A and B are shown apart, each in its own frame.
Chain A
Amino acid sequence: MIPTLAAVFRKELLETLRDRRALLSSLVMGPLFAPLLFIGMLAISLDRSVSALDEAVAVTVSGAERAPNLVRFLREQGFDLSLRDGPDAELRRWIEDDSELVVMAVPDGFGERFAGGRPARVLVYADGSNSKAERRADRLRAAIGGYSGTLASLRLQARGISPLVAQPLVVDDVDVSTPAARATLVLGMLSYLILLVTLVGGMYLAIDATAGERERGSLEPLLTMPVPRAQLIYGKVLAAAFFMSVALALVTTTLALSIRQLPLETIGMSANFGPGVALGVFLSTLPFVTVGAALLTVVASFTRSYKEAQTWLGVLMLVPTLPIAVAGVLGIKANATLMAVPSLSQHLLIQGFLRGDPLPTGYAAISIASTLALGGLLTWVAGRLYQRERILG
C-alpha cells in the first residue's frame, strides 16, 4: 500500500507544482494575497479611526463676539474655529455647499440671557446624513456640554451650594475586556479566512485528480494498474491534504507577520499572534485538512467534468464555514459538544489562541479526534466511490 500511495502522491505533487496556474491559485492567491488584503483593509480602517481622534475638529462660528469665553474655551479644547457671520438661511447654504461643514451660531440675546442666569441658546448646524459632519458635531456638542457643566458648578459654588447636589448619580464604566480580547473582535474574521484559504489550497488538486483525470481520459488506463482502486484515491486525498497543509502554514505565517504591522496598540488592543500562537493555530487547524481534502475529493468524484466540479466545489467552500457564521451570530461559547463539530471546533480553538486564552487540552483533543474521524470516514467513502463502474463516466 505504501509504495502505491507514494507513487500517486509524488505524481500528483509533481503535476500540480508544474502547473503554474494551479500553483498560483492554490498557494499564492489564497495564502498570501487574501491575508494581506484583509490586513491591509483593517490597517486602513484603523488608521482612519485613529487619525479621526487626533484631528482638530473644524467648526465655523457665527456671532463669535457674543460668546468670547465659549470661543476661547473651544480653542483651548483643540477646535479649529473659523469665524464667519451670517443669517440662518446663509448658514444653511454653506452646509449645502459643503456637507462636511459644522456651524455653531451664537444668536442675538445670548449675552443678556447668559448674564441673567437663564439658559442661553447656541445652535449647532450639521448635515446629519453625513457621517463625518455628524462625528464633528458630536465632538462639538460634547465640548459645549462640558463647558456648560463647568459653568453650572461655578454658579452653584457662587451661591454656596456644593456642585455635588446636582449630581445625584454618577456612572463609572469599567471595561473588563483585555486588550487582546478587544482585538479578537476585530480579528474575529481570521479563523474564517484561515479555513477558507486552507480549503482553496487543495481545491485545484482535488478537482484535477478526479474530474480532471477522467475528463482527460487518463483515469481508465490508471484503473488497469494492478493496485486496489481505493489506494489510488487515498494517494490523491493525501496529496490534496498536503497542499492544504502547505496553504495553512503559509497563511498562518503571512498573518503572523502582517498583523504586527497593524497599529492595534493605538486603539488599546494588542495583537496576540507571536510564533507560539501561530504554531497553535497551525496545529489545531491541521487535522481539518483531512476533512477538507476527502470532502472535496468525494464531491469532485460525482461530477462529470472539470467545470462542473469547479461549480460544486465553489459552493462547497461555504459548507465548512457555515458553523462559524452561525457561531459568530449567536455568540456561541466553547463546550464539549461543540468541540465535536469539525470547522466550528477549529474556529473556537483559533479564537482561543488569538484571545490569549487557549481552550483546555481536553477540548483540543475532542476537536482533533472528531475531525480526524470524519476525515477518515470521508476518505473511506471516496475509496468506495471509486469501486463503482460509473466512476469512468
Chain B
Amino acid sequence: MIEVEGLAKRFGPVEAVREVSFSAADGRITGLLGPNGAGKSTTLRMLYTVLRPDAGSARIDGTDVVADPLAARRSIGVLPHSAGIYRQLTARENIRFYGELHGLAPALLRRRIDELVGRLDMTEFADRRADGFSQGQRIKVALARALVHSPRNVLLDEPTNGLDVMATRALRELIRGLRAEGHCVLFSSHVMQEVAALCDDVVIIDHGRVAASGSPEALQARFGGSSLEETFVRVLGEQEGLA
C-alpha cells in the first residue's frame, strides 16, 4: 500500500514535481502515465528514498519514507530506470548480493534465488557472468534482485524499455502474477498500450502534477475518447489549455 500526499521536488530552478498525490492499493497494478519529463521518475525516486521530497509526504505500508527510510526500503522492491547489474558477477551472484544486503539468512536466500530463477525463466543463464547479457536478460536479473526479499510493494520505472515483444509479454505475466499474490505494483510508463494492457488504476502526471486518475474505464468515461490514448491526449490537452 503506497500513499502519496502533496509530494514536491525541485532541482535548482526546475520544479520537477509540484504536487503529486495518489494511492496505490495492494493487489492492484497502478500505472504512472505521463510524457517524458513529467515527473514520473522523480516521484518514484522519492518513494524509493534516493531523493528527499521538498514538501509533502509518502507512506509505504504506513511507514513514512522520510522519517524511516530504512524501514520503507525493506518493504519495497525497486527496478530503477537505470538498473545496472554487475557484469563480472553471475546472475545468481548479482541476486545474492542484494539478498545479503537485505540480511536474508543463507539457506533462505538460496531457496529464494532458486525460486526466482525458475519463475523468471533464468535457468539457462543464471550461472553465467552478466557481461554480454541481452537487455532482456539484464532486466530479469535486476527484477529478480528487486524481488529477492519478497517485498510487499514493487516499484518499476519504465520496466519494458528496450525489451522485445516476447520479453515484454513475459514481464507483463510476471506483473500480473505479483498482483495475484496480493502485491502492490506501481510502475511508470509513457507507453499507452502498456498501461492499458496492465493497469487497474492509472495516474496521469503532467508538468509535475496529477492531471487525472482513476481506472482506465472511468477516465475514458470522464474525458471521452474511444481509446485510452485518446483520453490521455485529451487530459493533457486540457491541462495545456489551463496552463
Contacts and interface: CB of A to CB of B under 8 A. Distances in A.
B83 A217 contact: yes
Given A14-B88, A217-B84, A224 B49 contact: yes
Give the size category of A's interface with B.
20 to 34
B71 A226 contact: yes
A392 B82 CA distance: 11
Interface stretch (B72-80, B112-120, B166-174): B72-80
A19 interface: yes
Contact of B82 (A3, A220, A227): A220
By CB atoms of chain B within 10 A, which of A6, A16, A219, A225 has the most?
A: A225
B84 A218 contact: yes
Contacts of B81: 220
Nearest to A8: B101
B145 interface: yes
Interface string B85-109: 1111100010001101111000000
A216 B94 CA distance: 14
Contacts, number: 78
A312 B87 CA distance: 25
By CB atoms of chain B within 10 A, which of A7, A19, A226 has the most?
A: A226
A4 interface: yes
Given A19-B88, A221-B142, A7 B101 contact: yes
Contacts of A4: 101
A15 B85 CA distance: 12
A14 B88 CA distance: 8
Give the size category of B's interface with A.
20 to 34
A18 B85 contact: no
Contact of A3 (B45, B76, B87, B100): B100
Contacts of B93: 11, 14
A389 B100 contact: no
Contacts of B142: 221
Contacts of A223: 49-50
A145 interface: no
Contacts of A109: none
B146 interface: yes
Contacts of A16: 88
Nearest to A227: B101
Interface string B49-79: 1111000000000000000001101101011
Given A224-B49, A224-B50, A14 B89 contact: yes
B82 A217 contact: yes
Contacts of B80: 217, 220-221, 224
B50 A225 contact: no
A228 interface: yes
Contacts of B79: 221
A227 B102 CA distance: 8
B89 A11 contact: yes
A222 B49 CA distance: 12
B22 interface: no
B86 A221 contact: no
Contacts of A213: 84
A219 B81 CA distance: 12
Nearest to B142: A221
B97 A7 contact: yes
B129 interface: yes
Nearest to A219: B84
Given A217-B82, A218-B85, A227-B101, A392 B70 contact: no
A228 B100 contact: no
B73 A18 contact: no
B146 A221 contact: yes
Nearest to B75: A226
Contacts of B103: 3, 226
B100 A392 contact: no
A18 B130 CA distance: 12
B102 A389 contact: no
A294 B145 CA distance: 29
Contact of B102 (A14, A216, A219, A226): A226
Nearest to A4: B101
A26 B85 CA distance: 23
Interface string A1-27: 001101110010011101100000000
**Nearest 9 A/B pairs, CB to CB:** A217-B82, A217-B84, A218-B84, A7-B100, A216-B84, A226-B73, A225-B101, A18-B88, A224-B78
15 contacts: A14-B88, A14-B89, A213-B84, A216-B84, A218-B86, A220-B45, A220-B80, A221-B78, A221-B79, A223-B50, A224-B49, A224-B73, A225-B101, A226-B73, A228-B70
Interface of A: 3-4, 6-8, 11, 14-16, 18-19, 213, 216-228, 389, 392
Given A7-B101, A218-B86, 7 more contacts: A3-B100, A14-B88, A15-B88, A221-B142, A223-B50, A225-B101, A389-B50
